[in-house]
Amino acid sequence: MERENINMNDKPEIEIKIFGGTNMIAPTGATAVQNFYGDQFAEVAIRPEETEGIESLNDAECLLFTYVPDVKKVHEYTRLLGECATAHDLAGVVSIMLSEPRVGKDTVVKGTFIEVLLPFASRLTSGAKVDNVRQQINNMLMRQGRGGK
C-alpha cells in the first residue's frame, strides 16, 4: 500500500481552467490539441512592447468588463460606483449603465450583476445588501417606466 502512494505522488499535477466554449476532457487520451481561431491576440503576442500604454484591469474590474466591454467605461463606472453613499445612488449609476448593449433591464436585477457592482461601492453606508440594491434598482426601473428619469 505504501508503494502505491509513492508512485501516485510521482505523477505531475494537472490544473485545468475552463472559461466557456466547448471542452472535452479525456483522462485516457494520449495527446491533446488546442486550436485558437482568430487573430485578435496575435498582434499582442508578436509585439508586446506596443501594449505598455494599455490600461489593465484587476479581477473585480474584469467581472464588470463582461458586462461593459470597454476599459475606459469600466474605469468610469467604478469611479461612479465608488462615489455612491446609498443604494439609491447605486441604482442611479445602474440607470446610466442601461445604455450599454450587454446591460439590460433583466440583467440589472440579477444577484450576480449586483454582486459584481458591490465591491466598487466602498462608501455605501446604507443598503449594502443585494436585496436592498435590487429593490432600489426596481424602483428606478419603475420610475423610468412611467416616463421619469
Q: Give the count of beta carbons closer than 10 Å to the beta carbon of residue 85.
A: 13
Length of the chain: 149
Q: Are 25 and 16 in contact (CB under 8 A)?
A: yes
Q: For residues 20-26, give the mean pLDDT.
A: 68
Compute the distance between CA of residue 26 and CA of residue 29 in angstroms, rounded to an integer: 5
**Residue spans per domain, the chain:** 59-145
Per-residue model confidence as pLDDT tens digits over 66-116: 999 888 999 999 999 999 999 999 999 999 999 999 999 999 999 999 999
- Show the cell assigned to 32: 491533446
* Phi/psi at 126 (5° precision): -130, 145
Proportion of the chain above pLDDT 90, given as a percent? 50
The whole-number pLDDT of residue 125 equals 81
The whole-number pLDDT of residue 146 equals 72
The whole-number pLDDT of residue 74 equals 93
Q: Are 68 and 102 in contact (CB under 8 A)?
A: yes
Strand partners, 126: 86
Residue 74 burial by CB count (10 A; 0-12/13-18/19+): exposed, middle or buried?
Answer: buried
3-state secondary structure of 118: helix
The whole-number pLDDT of residue 52 equals 54
Indicate the pTM of the whole model: 0.62
Ranked by mean pLDDT, the top range of 30-34, 62-66, 126-130, 135-139 is: 135-139
55-66-70 Cα angle (round to 5): 40
Proportion of the chain above pLDDT 70, given as a percent? 61
